[in-house]
Chain A
Amino acid sequence: MTERLDLRDAEWRGISTKYAVVEVGGLLIMGVILSVATAIPTFVTGIQWLAAIPISLGIIFLINIALTPRRVRAIGYMLRDDDLVFRRGLMFRRVVAVPYGRMQLVDINRGPLDRAVGLSELKFVTAAASTGVVIPGLPEQDAEELRDTLVALAESRRAGL
């Protein structure tokens, strides 16, 4: 059974494929830093088998980087009539549906790597911390439009807490 957890009649809107660049960039930086840091004991002590740590770390990061394009393609969102549905994850998949009226606020964040390729990250906050809807990799223009749409939708469907 390799069927995926997904909605039946879903037309997901994907995010910009450029987001893969951001992800890969971030992973590369992290991977290099961690590998170098864990390689230090090997050089200092000269014990051979300690090199296994940086090598395995490097391999994990490489696999991760190789999977990034697929992972980015797995991220999707959908504006339905009354709620926002968000999906992410390749191995660990997660699908969330949030009614618009539940919105408390919308954040737009841009990291340095995001800025370099002109992307933004949109965060949809509700009263429940576990909702955790963060849509990454939206082109700046789209992110702002989406934010305005969401705010307008939330306003028209305002609900209590």
Chain B
Amino acid sequence: MTDPLEPVPAPEHEPAPAQQAAPILPEQARRLADGGWHRLHPATPFLRGGIAFLAIIGVIIVNARDIFLEMIFGGDNGFEPFDRLARAGFLIPIVLIVLLVLLMSVAGFYFSWRMHTFRITDELVEVRSGILFRTNRRGRLDRIQGINISRPIFARLFGAARLEVNVAGQDANVELAYLGSRGADDLRRAILQLASGTRAAESAVAQAPGQEHGGIVERRVSELLAPELDPNAAPPESIVRIRLPRLIGSLVFSEATVMAILIAIGIFVAVTVTGRYFWLLAFLPGVLGFVGYLFARLTRSLRYSIAATEDGIRIGYGLLSTTNETLPPGRIHAVEVSQPLMWRPAGWWEIKINTASQASSSTETAAKTTLLPVGDLDDVHRVLQLILPSLADEHSRELLEAGLSASANDDAYVTSPKRARALRWFSWRRNGYALISDAVALRKGAIWRSLILVPQARMQSVSMHEGPLLRRMGLAELRVHTVAGPISATIGAMDRGDVIDFFDEAGRAAVLSAGADTSHRWRSENAKRAHDAQKAHDAQSAQDAPIAEAAEDVPVAADDPEVTL
């Protein structure tokens, strides 16, 4: 062992529920985050193996039972493999080998657990793992893009959770799998506290968790039924509720459904025309894929919740396997509010975001980047206020509404000139941009409406483009570069002069906002203020304080007459 002296981890042991009473936990989280090396939940290898492990045990038990029954009742049929092995004299060696393999894998699991340690210091979170091939991963706390706690159904039954610290970069997450479920929540709070720039002493925030006592079964059950957001850490009310009919409606009226129906019609026509049922076979994988997709989207959006905490926004979702993610302030690089055509009668919108940490698999990415799967206009405004608090004032709200509403040429957005009609047939009136408070807003699309918001403090660079065609027409294209994600903030077919103006303005605003931005240590300057505010049980203001402060310092072009009226 590398660290014989390291503290014994003992993360929530199942056999000691009585000692697991309430007041210990925050302390425990503090202990886990004390900078020393700690180990994960002892059941980790078992949970990681998960269902495979269960299946193997099941197979062994079933077989063993058969053999056992046969031994008792003496029923023997000569084809039993065990019989044949016994007759050939191989039974003993084989049993020994099986036992050896079992022992070795148990030992392997044990050592991999022993060697899998993590520590959390003021500066970084570090994980070491592996027996033969050691890996060591460190993430800097001030580069945290989000902390994700997920509980796959299997781990959830055992009261374990996976904590993922996302730092900027492709697949750059430090994963702590698995931790005790309660411990994970507290540890997240502790990490966020360290990351926010407050010292633990300063932030003697009394976090007395109103924890339920009781036996292990009761605790498990209550954990399963508990709301996805820990009621102690967040205002219990999620600001958006997605009711089941709306969720199902949003899925039914989605592009995927239209595609599925079109394909079904195509196949139906093919069958009736050719008279061959062979075409139905082609249908099958499509149906499976479609149902799988719908199911995944549905379960992902069920029990959806979004709420403000003092350390950022918390988004929780999932019915069986649950996930909840905390995005600290200033980690959202771009926001897109969009509306497919079929959602328009119902007035539904979807919100997507770009964050600097990207998952490797596409389904994970989709889950991570969808902030609001479906919501009406009020929901959209509430969520936008949450993620971009500087847009809360009346003027910005008007601009946002103009951004989401139907075409209007005379509003605050600088729109495409009339000569751009050839390039934007329906949307030239809508196609435009504006500077809203400390964000850049790009409004696009008449059929697929969307509004893209990029906080100026997160803009990486701005560029303008023109090609031969655009030059003839005196037009140009504008792009705001953000970290990679589903949203690309570009707007084409704008007047050249406007684009040049905007390029200058946005470039200046980006520099100013970036200079005034302190969100990478979001509480460092306002620790005391936030603390007081929180004491006053005003979670909302505590969450807004640092950002609003930063925003006020920014001499943004918000009252520039040219842009905003």
Q: Which residues of A contact B (CB under 8 A)?
A: 1-8, 82-83, 85, 91-99, 101-102, 126-131, 133, 157, 159-161
Can you report 21 residue pairs joining A to B where beta carbons are below 8 Å apart? A1-B474, A5-B476, A7-B503, A83-B510, A92-B467, A93-B466, A94-B465, A96-B461, A96-B481, A97-B461, A99-B511, A126-B460, A126-B461, A128-B460, A128-B482, A157-B511, A157-B515, A160-B514, A160-B517, A161-B333, A161-B483
A92 CB contacts on chain B under 8 angstroms: 465-468
Q: In the complex, what residue of chain A is closest to B516 when comparing beta carbons?
A: A159
A93 CB contacts on chain B under 8 angstroms: 465-466, 471
In the complex, B484 has a CB within 8 A of chain A: yes
B465 CB contacts on chain A under 8 angstroms: 5, 92-95
Does A95 contact B503, Cβ atoms closer than 8 Å? Answer: yes
Does A5 contact B464, Cβ atoms closer than 8 Å? Answer: yes
Closest chain-B Cβ to A70's Cβ sits at a distance in Å of 15
Most chain-B CB neighbours within 10 Å: which of A83, A98, A160? A160
Give the contacting residue for B511; candidates A5, A82, A131, A160; CB below 8 A: A82
In the complex, B462 has a CB within 8 A of chain A: yes
Does A160 contact B461, Cβ atoms closer than 8 Å? Answer: no
Kindly identify, within residues 458 to 502 of chain B, every residue whose CB is under 8 Å from any CB belonging to chain A. Answer: 458, 460-468, 471-474, 476, 479, 481-484, 488, 496, 499-500
Does A130 contact B507, Cβ atoms closer than 8 Å? Answer: no
Q: Which residues of B contact A (CB under 8 A)?
A: 142-143, 145, 168, 330, 333, 356, 457-458, 460-468, 471-474, 476, 479, 481-484, 488, 496, 499-500, 503-504, 507-508, 510-511, 514-515, 517, 519-520
Q: A97-B462, A128-B460, A131-B461 are in contact. Are A160 and B472 (CB under 8 A)?
A: no
Further pairs besides A97-B503, A157-B511, A161-B483: 11, Cβ < 8 Å: A4-B471, A7-B503, A92-B465, A95-B503, A99-B461, A99-B510, A127-B356, A130-B481, A159-B517, A160-B457, A161-B356
Does B500 contact A5, Cβ atoms closer than 8 Å? Answer: yes
Q: A93-B466, A97-B461, A161-B168 are in contact. Are A128 and B483 (CB under 8 A)?
A: yes
Most chain-B CB neighbours within 10 Å: which of A6, A85, A95? A95
Q: A127 CA to B484 CA in the complex, in Å?
A: 8
Give the contacting residue for B514; candidates A97, A133, A159; CB below 8 A: A159
Q: A94 CA to B471 CA in the complex, in Å?
A: 12
Q: A96 CA to B506 CA in the complex, in Å?
A: 12
A96 CB contacts on chain B under 8 angstroms: 461-463, 481
B499 CB contacts on chain A under 8 angstroms: 5
Does A83 contact B511, Cβ atoms closer than 8 Å? Answer: yes
Most chain-B CB neighbours within 10 Å: which of A6, A94, A157? A94
9 nearest A-B pairs in the assembled complex, by CB-CB distance: A128-B460, A160-B520, A128-B481, A159-B514, A96-B463, A82-B511, A98-B461, A97-B507, A5-B466
A91 CB contacts on chain B under 8 angstroms: 467-468
Most chain-B CB neighbours within 10 Å: which of A85, A98, A101, A128? A128
B145 CB contacts on chain A under 8 angstroms: 161
Closest chain-A Cβ to B517's Cβ sits at a distance in Å of 6
Q: A160 CA to B513 CA in the complex, in Å?
A: 11
B466 CB contacts on chain A under 8 angstroms: 5, 92-93
Does A94 contact B511, Cβ atoms closer than 8 Å? Answer: no
Q: A92-B466, A127-B168 are in contact. Are A5 and B471 (CB under 8 A)?
A: yes
B473 CB contacts on chain A under 8 angstroms: 1
Does B507 contact A131, Cβ atoms closer than 8 Å? Answer: no
B467 CB contacts on chain A under 8 angstroms: 91-92
Q: In the complex, what residue of chain B is closest to A133 when comparing beta carbons?
A: B461
Q: A1 CA to B507 CA in the complex, in Å?
A: 26
Q: In the complex, what residue of chain B is closest to A130 when comparing beta carbons?
A: B481
Give the contacting residue for B330; candidates A7, A127, A160; CB below 8 A: A160
A129 CB contacts on chain B under 8 angstroms: 484
Q: A96 CA to B463 CA in the complex, in Å?
A: 4
Q: In the complex, what residue of chain B is closest to A102 when comparing beta carbons?
A: B460
Q: A36 CA to B156 CA in the complex, in Å?
A: 65
Closest chain-B Cβ to A147's Cβ sits at a distance in Å of 18
Give the contacting residue for A2; candidates B460, B463, B471, B483; CB below 8 A: B471
A85 CB contacts on chain B under 8 angstroms: 507
Q: A83 CA to B507 CA in the complex, in Å?
A: 8
Does B479 contact A130, Cβ atoms closer than 8 Å? Answer: yes
A5 CB contacts on chain B under 8 angstroms: 464-466, 471, 476, 496, 499-500
Q: A98 CA to B460 CA in the complex, in Å?
A: 7
A131 CB contacts on chain B under 8 angstroms: 460-461, 463, 481
Q: A83 CA to B168 CA in the complex, in Å?
A: 23
Q: A130 CA to B473 CA in the complex, in Å?
A: 25
Does A101 contact B515, Cβ atoms closer than 8 Å? Answer: yes
Q: A4 CA to B467 CA in the complex, in Å?
A: 10
Does A159 contact B476, Cβ atoms closer than 8 Å? Answer: no
Q: A129 CA to B145 CA in the complex, in Å?
A: 18
Most chain-A CB neighbours within 10 Å: which of B466, B479, B483, B499? B466
Closest chain-B Cβ to A17's Cβ sits at a distance in Å of 24
Q: In the complex, what residue of chain A is closest to B145 when comparing beta carbons?
A: A161
Q: In the complex, what residue of chain B is closest to A91 when comparing beta carbons?
A: B468
Does A7 contact B460, Cβ atoms closer than 8 Å? Answer: no
Q: A1-B474, A92-B467, A129-B484 are in contact. Are A99 and B500 (CB under 8 A)?
A: no
